Structure 1
């Protein structure tokens, strides 16, 4: 199985890149992961609500174009209104995808959220937290949680649980 993280934006601060790289390196023996950075929509100086909807739509189309819509790559979209999972629940979801022989495209949308069209095509809508986090930080949290979930699935001592 392979996980492709489709993320809007690039040029991350060095501390974000360092944290992400640490968990990305650790997870490779257990789960092949790749990051695909996608361009954010061009922003107006003082955007209106209509502009924000257009940004979500443009970025949603870019994300869908990057998704391997072959039926073998599940589309998991991070969304504040998505289902919350425990780390053990995430480990179970990853195991299920592995058993089915599916890959996963995991989406981190842009700063203004994701389009309704993208959400309608998602196989899973997942919320990392009820907290609002900056999108760069989501990369680090996401990669750490993937690593922790795969540690559970591989009986690695990283996750000590309760």
Structure 2
């Protein structure tokens, strides 16, 4: 299984890129993980729905076919790290590539959220996109370390 984070956004600050790279390089070989950045739609005079629809096409193209889509959304399931680890383990047993989606400034298209196999949220707080990306990378690494009984995660 391959794990990907498809995130709509502009070039992130160095601290986000460095942090994500650090956690992603720690991921085990049997779970290659990467971030795919998708260009946001130029705002102009477009409505929120038009922006989301345009970004949806780019997101789906970056995600590829026959993958499990997991949308990050404020209305998604609230998972503990342990529950995320259990979910990750189930995804790995299924073997299908999994793509986690982080929408742009206006969020994810409603049709894309419906199309997703599941929706999760990182926090009840509103997070900047770079922080959400880094937090997701860290939590995926933490979930893997929990599954492998690595001492990184302590309860």
Per-residue CA deviations over 1:34-80 (Å, capped at 9, x if unaligned) read: 21111100112xx5xx611211111112112222222xx21001001
**1:51 aligned to 2:50?**
no
Q: Which moved more, 1:142-151 or 1:9-18?
A: 9-18
Q: How many residues align?
A: 155
What is the TM-score with the length of structure 1 in the denominator?
0.90
CA distance 1:11–1:28, shift in 2 (3 Å) = farther
Per-residue CA deviations over 1:120-150 (Å, capped at 9, x if unaligned) read: 1000101101000001111110000000000
Q: Which moved more, 1:8-17 or 1:121-130?
A: 8-17
**1:75 aligned to 2:69?**
yes
**1:146 aligned to 2:140?**
yes
- Do the aligned residues in 2 keep the contact of 1:31 with 1:150 (CA within 8 Å)? no
Once residues 135 and 100 of structure 2 are traced to their aligned partners in structure 1, the CA distance between those partners, rounded to angstroms, is 13
Q: Secondary structure at the match of 1:19?
A: helix
Q: Secondary structure at the match of 2:26?
A: helix
Pairwise CA RMSD of aligned residues?
Answer: 1.3
Once residues 141 and 133 of structure 2 are traced to their aligned partners in structure 1, the CA distance between those partners, rounded to angstroms, is 12
Structure 1 runs not aligned, ≥5 long: none
Structure 2 runs not aligned, ≥5 long: none
Once residues 79 and 135 of structure 1 are traced to their aligned partners in structure 2, the CA distance between those partners, rounded to angstroms, is 12
